Structure 1
Amino acid sequence: MTNEVRNPKSAAPTRFVIRSSSLLRDSSFWFRHFSAATLCLTAANCAFFPPLGTKRLKNDLAELHGKAPSKWAALPGISPTAATGWLDDFGSAKLKALVQQAISGNPSLKAAAARVDQARAQTMQAGSSLFPTLTSTGSGNRTQSPGDQRFPGNEAIANRFTGNWLNMSWEIDFWGRVADSRRAAKAGSEAAEEDWHAARLSLAASTVQTAVTLAEAETLLALAESNVATRKVQLGILERQLDRGIDPDRAALDVSLSRADLARAEATVQQRRATADETRRTLETLLGGYPAGSESGLGSLPSLRRGIPAGLPSEMLLRRPDLRAAERRLAAALASESAAKKAMLPSLRLTGSAGRTTQQIEQLIRPESAIWVIGTQVGQTLFQGGQLKAGVDLQRGRYKEILQTYASSTLTAFREVETALAAEQFLLRQQSALERAAEEAERAEKLALGQYEKGLSEVLTLLDARQRAFDARSTLTNVKAQRLRNRAALHLALGGEF
């Protein structure tokens, strides 16, 4: 409701022009009390109206978490901090330095940090509606009336200067709708922070795994080069035998077989050089540098200093950043659904302004030119073609989707942990068996060489024994590297701080 009075010196109406009352002249009196009331109501809104469906969220989470076993199936209860600081497991200062370099230089991680800043700014934007909007405006205009006025004495040209030193507009969040929107934005901001933690942890694990893969490739390359050197020596011996004419048919066959094995060994060297070069450039990219192929890496495979703890409680999985992010997104969806429901309720808006208006600009400082307006507005949406209800259905559908996504992520997390725990046992046994196989293959190679030099066996037996020894050493290196990568994957799955 708006009341208007007309200033006798102006053709334009003004709103509640006060020129004489000493109490109303002091407009700051009203705005001090009005501001105090708004702050009290704002605080009350945030405290008294939690999101609708909070109990449902609690029950959904309890049901989801209740599906987790108390112990892991692959490894028969440690404290949640026992699987942290896992970089120490590898006992490599160079590996720690590579991880820290990646954390400080990787562009993708910096992008994730920028998304956190954006989410925090969105939270501030969403929360700003909880408070009044204050503006200050000023205007001046000059108007001319028609010259054929019916009543003489009216000025043909009139000035009007207005200064609204303070304009206030505030929608009272009586039902908590704006507060719910802010809760949703805050939960989204927290989810973005968890995404950053997840990206940081994933980057650390990827750096470890890539550095291990590079060390594996370099070790395999050294084995291949050693194999080529050995086969070249052997081929030289066979060629000299052929030149001396000792059993030329047999010597020619031995030379051909040796040359074929040498060519295969040289091809293996080139393949392993390509693998090492590609892995080196991948590692440089993770570190945030130009992939020039000059990174030295670890040089050799590190050794694990400790094994898996005696038992890992399933509750440790809840510390995974990606699962915490999923839970925060679920809370954001619930708050958005609650805000959509409350949008159907009536809204209450308070408005007010205080300032001065006059026909002479120099009179703006006089108390008698003061004006102020305080008003209220109540609104209720009656019909929008089902838009509000569709908004509620949309947010409820998003909540259900995120809940099932959370459940799926939880199952995936359990699978990753169970798989890594089981693989640790398999790889440990496999490594033990391959160590025995490598020892026996090396022994067989020495025996075959001795028998060949004595003429008791053919060169084919020697070549086969050497290939077996080379394959055994290569496979053992593969399994050692795989066990190191699996340890990093296990800690990534557990979400432990490195």
Structure 2
Amino acid sequence: MTKLPAARATLAALSGAALLSACSLAPTYQRPAAPVAATFPADSVGAAARTSVPLPLAANARTAVDTGWRDYFPEPRLQSLIAAAQENNRDLRTAVLRIEEARALYNVQSADRLPNLNASVADTRAKTPAFLSSTGVSTIGKRYDVGVSVSSFELDFFGRVKSLSDAALSTYLATDEARMAAQIALVAQVAQAYYTERAYAEQYALAQQTYEARARTYQLTQQRAEVGASSRLDLRSNETLMETARAAALALARQRAQAENALTLLVGQAPASAAAGALPDARQLDNMSALPAGLPSDLLIRRPDIRAAELRLKAANANIGAARAAFFPRISLTAALGSSSPSLHGLFDSGSGSWSFAPQLTLPIFDAGRNRANLTLAEVRNNLAVADYEKTIQTAFREVADALAARDYLGEQEAAQRAVQEAQADRLKLLQLRFDNGVASSLDVLDAQRELFSAQQSLVQVRLLRTTTAIDLYRALGGGLQ
């Protein structure tokens, strides 16, 4: 019994030394330089000066990360769809479960940094044959043991366990950042799907109105042809325009139904029936697109996918430390403290205390190149993580630059397309007057109707493109989640 305190002290000292003296052989982490230009393309800024859209870094504008999606998308129906998608979307649910998986793996790995303390109770019986017994008589021995033990606890002097734990922690944090990136992407996807469906609905309404107007014109032309007031060419031309509008309406109805199905998949359930909205007008789009772009370096702290890529790089860097530590001796400790007795009633009697202390040192001598190959593998994976991190930054830079370029020019394109529509509508009105007075031919009127319908459809498409560009800019700049 006099040696038990010494055993406890030795065990505590070695465990404390292992926890406090663990170093890491991982390379000192340094963030790679961003492989992009220091500023976004100057053409975008120059074009912005020619539009009504505020310049990047406007003093009165908020950054994307400070603008929650409820502020960015004020329409109640769209807000309800986004909220439902965050509750029911299966991809986002998978991303959340990946976080739980990564957290559990980190907890498993970090548990190796502390000793596992086990309690045990054993009843051992063994028969010794007569020819092996010192008395020449077979005997049955009995032994009872109770105690606590530490089994194969690695004293992490070279940081192998610590490096593995650091890698697991970085992987867990990267998974959380990936979930945030998926959530931002989901908000953008729902908004884009919603406005795409609204654009198809608007185009379908125009096509249906055009078809009904042309059907009335065709009926009048048919009546005139029956009495000889119109030619067969006029009749066929009107019929062609009518069926063209009908075909366009049917195609748009199909596209709208498919857009509704895509929205249902994103939301995770059938969208609740509510009053349908419309595409944002020019003023709303100007306000949505007024988010400042900032500098490329700002993306490093705004975009969760870039932060996730950097955390994966840190995990790969830590794995190099674990691979390096494999070349050094591995010291493990097995110890037990308890009481032993040949009889159950004497298990806790005075003098029945027992202990064992078994440190073990393992030094790799020959492993057929396994440790060297593992180190090479860790270094290659680290280089891959660097390439992935740099590619993520370049992709983010390109997405922001594309959104800025589109923002700068689409405002003017919409204004030009609106002017085209207004000119075509006025042209049709004038030609109709000339036709009524016998100056213009019916073919000129039919051509003007066709051109007006095309201009109306093109204007809706440009407005949708401006809307999706504003959404892309919000997502590319790391839009807020609240």
Q: TM-score, normalised by structure 2?
A: 0.90
Q: What runs of 5+ residues in structure 1 fail to find an aligned partner? A: 1-20
- RMSD value over aligned CA atoms? 2.3
How far apart are the structure 1 equivalents of 2:317 and 2:85? 36
Equivalent residue number for residue 147 of structure 1: 130
SS at match of 2:388: helix
Matches within 5 A, 1:127-166: 127-148=110-131, 151-152=134-135, 156-166=139-149
1:276 matched to 2:256? The reply is yes
Instruction: Tell me by how many angstroms 1:268 deviates.
Output: 0.8
Residues 1:236 and 2:212 are matched in the alignment: no
Q: 1:343 to 1:95 in 2, by over 3 A?
A: same
Q: Secondary structure at the match of 2:231?
A: helix
> How does 1:336-355 map onto structure 2 within 5 Å?
336-355=319-338
- Counterpart residue number, 2:312: 329
Q: Distance in 2 between matches of 1:280 and 1:311?
A: 32
Q: 1:157 to 1:89 in 2, by over 3 A?
A: closer
Is the CA contact 1:215–1:297 (under 8 Å) kept in the aligned structure 2?
no
Aligned to 1:316: 298
> 1:367, CA displacement in angstroms?
3.0
* 1:243 positional shift: 2.4
Where 2:480 maps in the other structure, the secondary structure is: coil
Unaligned runs of 5+ in 2: 46-55
Q: Tell me the equivalent position of 1:73.
A: 42
**Aligned 8 A contact 1:212 1:298 in 2:** no
Match of 1:428 in 2: 411
Instruction: Give the superposition deviation at 1:470.
Output: 0.9
Compare 149-158 and 364-373 and name the one that shifted more: 149-158
Task: Check the 8 A contact 2:177/2:308 in 1, yes or no.
Answer: yes
Aligned to 1:174: 157
**Deviation per CA, 1:64-112, whole angstroms, max 9, x where unpaired?**
2274414553444638952232643454232222211111111110110
| 8 Å CA contact retained: 2:7, 2:355 | no
Counterpart in the other structure of 1:6:
none
Secondary structure of 1:164's aligned partner:
strand
Question: Could you tell me whether the CA contact under 8 Å between 1:178 and 1:339 is conserved in 2?
Answer: yes
Is 2:13 the partner of 1:31?
no
**Alignment partners' CA distance in 2, 1:130 and 1:296:** 56
Q: From the superposition, tell whether residues 310 and 383 of structure 1 become closer, same or farther in structure 2 (CA, over 3 Å).
A: closer
Task: Indicate which of 95, 115, 128 corresponds to 1:112.
Answer: 95
TM-score, with structure 1 as normaliser: 0.87
Moved over 6 A (4+): none
Deviations 1:267-320 (A, max 9, x none): 111100000000001101100115xx8766843112325143465222221121
Quote the offset at 1:121 in angstroms: 1.1
Contact 1:72 1:313 in 2 (8 A): no
Matches within 5 A, 1:356-371: 356-371=339-354
Q: Which residue of 1 aligns with 2:365?
A: 382
The reply on whether 1:218 has 2:201 as its aligned counterpart is: yes
- The reply to whether residue 52 of structure 1 matches residue 21 of structure 2 is no
CA distance in 1, matches of 2:206, 2:143: 94
Contact 1:94 1:298 in 2 (8 A): yes
Would the aligned equivalents of 1:357 and 1:370 in 2 still touch at CA under 8 Å?
yes
Cα 1:485–1:274 change in 2 (3 A) is same
For residues 69 and 348 of structure 1, what CA distance do their matches in structure 2 show?
50
For 1:14, the equivalent position in structure 2 comes to none
For residues 320 and 230 of structure 1, the distance between their equivalents in structure 2, rounded to whole angstroms, comes to: 50
Report the counterpart of residue 79 of structure 2 in structure 1.
Answer: 96
How far did 1:348 drift? 1.6
Other-structure match for 2:279:
301
CA 1:311–1:203 in structure 2 vs 1: closer, same or farther (change >3 Å)?
A: closer
Letter in 1 for 2:219: G
**Based on CA coordinates, which of the two structures has the bigger radius of gyration?**
1
Q: Distance in 2 between matches of 1:453 and 1:237?
A: 14
Number of residue equivalences:
462
